[in-house]
Amino acid sequence: MICQLGTQGSSVQLFVWKQSGGEDKLGRLISLLIANGRTKDAQNAAINKKARADLYKEFGIFS
């Protein structure tokens, strides 16, 4: 899956791969982050496991 994120005139592609059924969970997180204008956090969540775990907790995404 590839997500396109617009960041002030430029475009960033996030490459997200399925990890033991976590694709839907990550998709929800990325959608919430984008909806809240947090594209930097979305980029970080795609590549940083610790940041992703913290954001799951922040947004109440547990399954």
Cβ atoms of 25 and 56 closer than 8 Å: yes
Indicate the pLDDT class of residue 60, thresholds 50, 70 and 90. Answer: very high
Nearest to 5 by CA among 36, 23, 48, 54: 36
Indicate the pLDDT class of residue 18, thresholds 50, 70 and 90. Answer: very low
pLDDT at 1: 47
Cβ atoms of 47 and 24 closer than 8 Å: no
pLDDT at 27: 94
Residue spans of the domains in the chain: they are 23-63
Q: Per-residue pLDDT for 10 more than 60?
A: no
CA distance 39 to 17: 18
% the chain with pLDDT above 70? 67
Indicate the pLDDT class of residue 49, thresholds 50, 70 and 90. Answer: very high
